[in-house]
Amino acid sequence: MSYSFTKIHATGNDFLCFKKEPLDPSEVAKKTCHRRFGFGADGILYPSVSEIADIKMNYLNADGTIASMCGNGYRAFIVFCLKEGLLSGTTFKVETRAGVIESTLHEDHDVELVFTSYHEEVSPPHVRSTTHLTQPLNLEGMNMHVMLMGTLHGMIIVDDPFLISDALAHRLCTHDFFPHHINVNFIKIIDQKKHSSQNV
C-alpha cells in the first residue's frame, strides 16, 4: 500500500498530514513517523466528516496511539486542509476527541486557537490521583502545576528553560503519575506581563 502525505512543521513539532484515513492508521503512524527508518514526525493527522463542526481532526502519535488533541497539530491541520481545499475562509470549527475547538486564520498566516474551557482539577484516568492546578506536584525535585485543556499540560517555573536536560524532560513527560504521559512546559517569568517558555 502506498500513500501520499504532506509534512508540516508547527512551533518545533512536525506532522505527516494525509488527505484520507490510512488503511491502518496506527501502523502507518509507527512506520512513517520513525526518525531513522521513516520520514520523521511527532504524529500523523487526517480529516474525516463531522456532524457537529466544519471538519474532524484525527491525530495519532508517532508510537501509533490515539491522542485526543494537539495544539500544534491542530494548527498544521488547518494549514493542510486549506491547502487541499478541504476548508475555506478564516474562521473554523474543528471536531477533536477533546471537543469542538474554534480557530481563526490571521493575515500573517498564524492560526489562533480559542479554548473555551479547561479543567483546573484533573482526575483519573489522566492522573493516578486527583490534583488541582493550585496544588503543585513535586516530581523529580520540581513543582509542577497540572491542567487539562484537551491534552494534559504540566507547567514548571524555572530560572532558565533552556538549561533543562532532555533526560529530565523525558522523565517528567513519562512519569508514572501520568498513565498516558503529559506535555511539560518549562516557564521563565520575565515580569508580570511577558513570559518565555520552552515546550517539551
Task: For 102-122, write each residue's pLDDT tens digit.
Answer: 999 998 888 988 776 678 898
Q: Kindly state whether residues 67 and 132 are assigned to the same domain.
A: no
Is 150 among the domain residues? yes
Domain that holds residue 138: 121-199
- Has residue 33 got a pLDDT over 60? yes
**What is the total count of domains within the chain?**
2
Q: If pLDDT is split at 50, 70 and 90, which confidence band does 173 have?
A: very high
Q: Kindly state whether residues 147 and 106 are assigned to the same domain.
A: no
- Has residue 5 got a pLDDT over 60? yes
Name the burial class of residue 111, with classes exposed (0-12), middle (13-18) and buried (19+) by CB atoms within 10 angstroms of its CB: buried
Q: Kindly state whether residues 86 and 41 are assigned to the same domain.
A: yes
Question: In CATH, what number is assigned to the domain containing residue 45?
Answer: 3.10.310.10
Q: Kindly state whether residues 134 and 96 are assigned to the same domain.
A: no
- Has residue 75 got a pLDDT over 80? yes
- Has residue 137 got a pLDDT over 60? yes
pLDDT, greater one: 114 or 137: 137
Q: Kindly state whether residues 98 and 149 are assigned to the same domain.
A: no
Q: Kindly state whether residues 95 and 184 are assigned to the same domain.
A: no
Out of 114, 147, 174, pick the residue that ends a domain.
114
Give the pLDDT confidence score for residue 198 in this predicted structure.
Answer: 53
Please measure the distance between the N-terminal and C-terminal CA atoms of the chain and give it in whole angstroms: 33
Give the pLDDT confidence score for residue 155 in this predicted structure.
Answer: 95
